[in-house]
Structure 1
Amino acid sequence: MDLTQLEIFCAIAEQGSVTAAAEKLHRVPSNISTRLKQLEEELGCALFRREKLRLHITDSGRTFLAYSRRILALSEEAKQSVSGQRPDGVFTLGAIESTAAVRLPPLIARYHQRWPQVGLDLSTGPSGDMIDGVLAGRYSAAFVDGPPKHPQLEGIPVFAEDLVLIGALNHPPVYDASGISGSTIYAFRANCSYRRLFENWFARTHAVPGKIFEMESYHGILACVSAGAGLALIPASMLESMPGRDSVNAWPLSEGMGQIAIWLVWRKGTRSANLQAMKALLTED
């Protein structure tokens, strides 16, 4: 097994076919097929299930894909560490939606101005997805609410964030969760850390939310709340940046539960030049 085989395997998994992987890697399809067959024979298992012109990754393939991405990421990191390279190549970042929308634009602009040779690849999603992406090697680092709890992660706090409860303008003030027990809630998917915090806030006073509608964007959430359809939890910085901020009332969570820190996290031991450059920018006065 060598790194080229792992690169080919990852390309097939991402592209879904030998032909597409060959185009991405600038190789002939027959070479891609041969290297994949050799890898499967060496591992003693099928990494893909063949169906017509598509390849569908198997359970064994998904497990091996996570390891392959980590190995390739570590290989690139090792090359940078011993060569003394300046930041270069592609820097894959993950971030929760609100941080990407409000906090990162000026930071990414500064990073690009200082290191224009680096290609920044930013993906957004719930905190759980971002952490999984770092652990699987899809992202070099990610901005999530912290501190990191996984033993293979480390990081630094970078932004202070306040989460506020929002309701329609005619909604009475909210002082604690017991006053809105049973109310309709708008939130992201279950792996969103803000949603978990919101549910824990209810639980502390033995209150329970009513129907939870899962949304895909803060703008959609704001529109529903401003129409009087329910309540939601949203970062204050995100609310302040939105055109419809004056269409809702906002209240802090009781007991200071809405005060959190956003962390930049990475796999423990990572020392890539791209990551070091980002950390340097974040710690500048």
Structure 2
Amino acid sequence: MESAELRIFRAVAREGSITKAAAILGYVQSNVTARIQQLESEVGTALFYRQRGMILTPAGSKLLTYAEQILHLLDQAEKFMAETELPSGNLELGAYANISSLHLPKLLTQYYKSYPDVNLSLFTGEAECLLGKVLHYELDGAFVRLPEINDSNLVKELEITEELVIVSRPEYKNIKSLYAKPFLMNPSGCPNRSRLESWLKFQGISQVRYMDFNYLDSIIQGVLADLGVAFLPHSVVQNYEEKGLLKTFPVPPEFGSTKTFFIRHKDSLLTGALAKFIEMLKENNPLYTPSAANFEWSL
């Protein structure tokens, strides 16, 4: 069982397709098919169900776990041997959409200017997707927004707690007057939306209208246009509030807080590139927060 075969096997397992795996690896399809068949012959069992794609068998799922660990160790050894005094190589990061569009560009620009030999990449996705990519060694680290991180395979390098507030046009003076308006929110499943629903239920409010928005900028513009109200981190609307364009209403901390974590896999090599990023991250909070009372650092 060679590492090249394991890399091909991992690519097919991740993509669920010989065609897609071949394109990613830069191989012809027949070569990928032959190497998978060779590996199955070597281990003495089928690794994939070949029905509408390549789906792992139970044996294939077990082998994938070991393949990922083996290939990770080989990649880590290469990274270690290639380490130089100044950070270099690849640094693959992940982030949820709001932080990647609003807060990270400044930090990444500062990092790139300091360490130009590092090849930076940023993947944007939902929390569960980012967790999976970190756990499967596809990302060196990621920013995720979740109530808590309890996986023993993950290291929390940074934890930031932000205040969530209800946001409206400035002419609304009473929070109760907002409950009849549509709430402009990310689709169902968003942690902030779940907190809002818990708060409204606590207030005895069951009839709520939602308008689904995927982008923070669209939500803010919708509130500015009086399309509805929103439930957002205070930090992202403070500038609008200071200019008198928006008004915010606090809710109790048990409902009105959100956490962002920067995580990495506990078994990943802390390369010079990643170590310097974490160092810069801890020195420069990527989330602008309005006051010390609204966040706490856990380093």
Instruction: Give the TM-score of the pair, scaled to structure 2.
Output: 0.74
Which residue in the other structure is 1:30 paired with? 30
The residue type paired with residue 249 of structure 2 is: W
Which residue in the other structure is 2:211 paired with? 213
Deviation at 1:129, TM superposition (A): 3.0
* Change in 2 beyond 3 A, CA 1:271/1:160: same
8 Å CA contact 2:161–2:258 kept in 1: the answer is yes
C-alpha distance in 1, partners of 2:64/2:203? 40
The C-alpha deviation readout for 1:214-250, integer Å capped at 9, x for no partner, is 32111222233334343221223333578xx865422
SS at match of 1:58: strand
Where in structure 2 are the equivalents of 1:217-232 lying within 5 Å?
A: 217-232=215-230
SS at match of 2:162: strand
Which residue in the other structure is 1:155 paired with? 156
Deviation at 1:203, TM superposition (A): 4.1
How many residues are treated as equivalent by the alignment?
A: 275
Which residue in the other structure is 1:57 paired with? 54
Unaligned runs of 5+ in 1: none
C-alpha distance in 2, partners of 1:132/1:139? 9
Which residue in the other structure is 1:278 paired with? 277
Where in structure 2 are the equivalents of 1:170-249 lying within 5 Å?
A: 170-174=171-175, 184-208=182-206, 210-240=208-238, 247-249=245-247
* Change in 2 beyond 3 A, CA 1:92/1:57: farther
Which residue in the other structure is 1:80 paired with? 79
Which residue in the other structure is 2:263 paired with? 265
C-alpha distance in 1, partners of 2:235/2:99? 9
Structure 1 stretches of at least 4 aligned residues deviating more than 6 Å after TM superposition: none
C-alpha distance in 2, partners of 1:169/1:10? 54
Which residue in the other structure is 1:114 paired with? 114
* Change in 2 beyond 3 A, CA 1:247/1:112: same
Deviation at 1:33, TM superposition (A): 1.7
Deviation at 1:91, TM superposition (A): 2.0
Deviation at 1:264, TM superposition (A): 0.9
* Change in 2 beyond 3 A, CA 1:31/1:126: closer
Which residue in the other structure is 2:169 paired with? 168
C-alpha distance in 1, partners of 2:63/2:127? 21
Instruction: Give the TM-score of the pair, scaled to structure 1.
Output: 0.77
SS at match of 1:254: coil
8 Å CA contact 1:162–1:258 kept in 2: the answer is yes
8 Å CA contact 1:129–1:191 kept in 2: the answer is no
Deviation at 1:35, TM superposition (A): 0.9
C-alpha distance in 2, partners of 1:187/1:264? 24
Deviation at 1:265, TM superposition (A): 0.7
The residue type paired with residue 72 of structure 1 is: L
8 Å CA contact 1:185–1:211 kept in 2: the answer is yes
The residue type paired with residue 124 of structure 1 is: T
Q: Aligned Cα RMSD in Å?
A: 3.5
Identity %: 24
C-alpha distance in 2, partners of 1:26/1:159? 41
C-alpha distance in 2, partners of 1:88/1:48? 41
Which residue in the other structure is 2:291 paired with? none
8 Å CA contact 1:162–1:236 kept in 2: the answer is yes
